[in-house]
Amino acid sequence: MRSIVTINYLGNSFKLFSESIMTYISEITNVMEYEALAKEKLPKMVYDYYASGAEDQWTLQENRNAFSRILFRPRILRDVSKIDMTTTVLGFNISMPIMIAPTAFQKMAHPEGECATARAASAAGTIMTLSSWATSSVEEVSSTGPGIRFFQLYVTKDRNVDAQLVKRAERAGFKAIALTVDTPRLGRREADIKNRFVLPPHLTLKNYEGLYFGKMDKTDDSGLASYVANQIDRSLNWKDVKWLQTITSLPILVKGVLTAEDASLAIQYGAAGIIVSNHGARQLDYVPATVMALEEVVHAAKGRVPVFLDGGVRRGTDVFKALALGASGVFVGRPVPFSLAVDGEAGVRKVLQMLRDEFELTMALSGCRSLKEITRNHVVTHWDTPGAVARL
């Protein structure tokens, strides 16, 4: 039934679906189904890179499982004939509190890579975050047309390179910098080690072309891990957040916060917002799921800056739960390259539309007509009261 044809695209092997599989694509009803299809289509090294987490992958599973332990307290008879999902992020109006997180190397999933993702985000009226380790440059993404885009930055050992990159993003119309702070070293991703992961030879880190930034070579380990060890600055600290403010007027989101202490420091050092993230469970294993860490960070922020969440979001119900716990919005990660692999730009559009539709339904069935009506009283967690644990 699911016959597959393999072709070679610019030196990289891709599997194309037969007509029966294309029919199945049109019948996809939830975000998770894209991952199974992407696994069939992508080379093993590529799929494993997108899908895997660090070490035992406990946090990878917990990012999803934690959502299932949060239950709803829906309100009834609330006249939900009109639902408004619009919101603002750093002053920018978007259609829904669902945005796209940065994921590297998207051309491994599809030849149009990050440009296809940018078009899908723009069509959905939401924000795309471009990885500094993208396979499309800030200029290429900007050329796809209008849209609200953020730029994710890894700080390297060469601050001149970082400064050039930030200024290029600013000139290309990007609206904020998402500073990733949880990667002084790369987490131990055992699938990448087994696969001797390396960027396929026909692809490059487009943002660094023309800059002396080394090359990701094959090794007896993960080529990515070796590359990160050579390029990323392990001395990154809070003073560098201040330094970043001296080279750009763009607002800075600190991405990778999991504790109240670091949330307070992020605000102290001038962050315009916080992204609660465990890097898709790809860094330190056995950290909490992001939705479990969220409320602690929200309480520490005290409304001074918006707090966002990424990690494990696969349903509109997940979006609602995050907002009920205080998030101003969520960023979606892995579903983007998986849907991109399966159906290109149309796949990413469908992921965003499905999450939007599910979120709208969750709002209606919970008795909420706008985002401001989503409150902490709409969910129950195991830490609320002693009795709540038994109910969950």
Query: How deeply is 122 buried, as exposed, middle or buried, from its count of CB atoms within 10 A (0-12, 13-18, 19+)?
Result: middle
17 against 364, higher pLDDT: 364
* 34 is known to lie in a ligand binding site: no
* Residue 116: burial class (beta carbons within 10 Å; 0-12, 13-18, 19+): buried
Cα→Cα distances 56→52, 60, 207, 225, 283, Å: 10, 9, 32, 17, 11
* Residue 86 confidence class, pLDDT cut points 50, 70, 90: very high
Judge whether residue 211 has pLDDT over 90. no
Q: Predicted confidence band at 354 (pLDDT cuts at 50, 70, 90)?
A: very high
Q: Domain 31-381 is classified in which CATH homologous superfamily?
A: Aldolase class I (3.20.20.70)
Does residue 228 have a known ligand-binding role?
no
The answer to whether 246 is a known ligand-binding residue is no
pLDDT in tens, 258-311: 999 999 999 999 999 999 999 999 999 999 999 999 999 999 999 999 999 999
| Residue boundaries of the structural domains of the chain | 31-381
Q: How far apart are CA 284 and CA 55, in angstroms?
A: 8
- Looking at every residue in the chain, the average pLDDT score rounds to 91
pLDDT of 38 higher than 70: yes
Query: Active-site residue 110, yes or no?
Result: no
Q: Is 311 flagged in the annotation as binding?
A: yes
Span of 4-8, 49-53, 177-181, 237-241 with lowest mean pLDDT: 4-8
Q: Is the pLDDT of residue 70 over 70?
A: yes
pLDDT tens-digit series, residues 219-233: 666 657 666 667 889
Catalytic residue among 202, 279, 299, 378, which?
A: 279
